[in-house]
Amino acid sequence: MTMAPEAPAPLLRIVSLTKRFGGFTAVDNVSVDIRPGERFGLIGPNGSGKTTLINCISGAFRTEPGTVLFRDEDITSLQPHMRTRRGIARSFQIPRPFRSMTVAENLMVALDFAAHEHVSVAQRRDTMMGILTQMGLASKANAAATQLSQVELRKMELARAMATHPKLLISDEAMAGLSSSEVDEVLDLLMSLASHDITIIMIEHIMQAVMRFSDRVMCLDAGKIIAMGTPSEVMANQRVQEAYLGT
């Protein structure tokens, strides 16, 4: 083994991934390795391809050229639910709760279908309540999903993702449209979820949040990687500043 200690085998490896919609290239030849346990920030102006990249990782979109490897397995052609069962979970930019269900039932769907081993209903309920408590949603367990506030919806999305028992959690703008105290609340949550076993990719527009959260930041513009590095390196990058502020 000649592998250096600072470069363990990647959890997720994206190789030359491209996604086109007709003549429009949303993601253009992106390659990146995400290391296990990493807190990875993904930034870029609107329409730069962040969510498209996430959709390709979670399986909502098929990629044309390009490969997605998860724990050394090629998952490029797997359906989304197969990827979820392998440990990739996500939240959605615009929350997509199961509207006819309660908060508890929303989580039970994930526990029923994505659980890796057979566990009893009682155990699943315990797990569910544990996650809800961790998320600060325990008091809302029996509330209808439609009755939640915006910040509660965001938390429930993260809770539902956590219920699939992920190894990689992708948070797609979980803080968009929240007040600054709510942003801190969600950010603290994400920080507390991140661990050696749970790697997190965070897409965010709120720069302070990205700076505080990330070990490493990647910036996309027009589907291409224009910068990658520590948060301060990326912020200092000329092209990133141009992409965000215009020239």
Partner 1 sequence: MKRSGAAFWIGAAAFLAVAFVMTKVIGNQYPFFAGYVILQFIALAVAWSILGGYAGYVNFGTSAFYGVGVYASVFLVKAFGAPLPVQILTAAAIGALMGFALGLLTLRMQGIFFSIATIALTIIIETVVTNWRYVGGAAGIQIQRPPVTAPFDNYVQLLFFIQAVLVVLAVAISRYIQNSWIGRGLQALKDDELAAECSGVPTLRLKLLACVISGALLCAVGAPGAMYLQYADPSSAFNLNYSVSTLAMSLIGGTAHWIGPVIGAIVLSTTQQLLTVTISSEVNVLVLGVMLVLFVVGAPEGIIGLARRIFHRSNEGRE
Separation between Cα atoms, residue 72 and residue 205, nearest integer Å: 31
> Among residues 14 and 114, whose Cβ is nearest to partner 1?
114
Q: What is the residue-wise DSSP string for 197-222?
A: S-EEEEE-S-HHHHHHH-SEEEEEET
> Among residues 101 and 222, whose Cβ is nearest to partner 1?
101
Tell me how far, at minimum, the Cβ of 111 lies from partner 1, in Å.
Answer: 9
Tell me how far, at minimum, the Cβ of 159 lies from partner 1, in Å.
Answer: 11
Separation between Cα atoms, residue 239 and residue 206, nearest integer Å: 18
Q: At what angle do helices 121-134 and 103-114 cross, to 10 degrees?
A: 120
Tell me how far, at minimum, the Cβ of 44 lies from partner 1, in Å.
Answer: 22
> Among residues 77 and 230, whose Cβ is nearest to partner 1?
77
CA distances from 146 to 92, 131, 161, 171, 195 (A): 16, 20, 18, 21, 31
Tell me how far, at minimum, the Cβ of 82 lies from partner 1, in Å.
Answer: 8
The tokens of 176 are what? 């968009």
Residues in touch with partner 1 (CB under 8 A): 58-60, 79-81, 84-85, 89-90, 92, 96-101, 105, 108-110, 112-115, 160-161, 163-164
> Among residues 94 and 191, whose Cβ is nearest to partner 1?
94
Beta strand 168-172 with 216-221: parallel, antiparallel or unpaired? unpaired
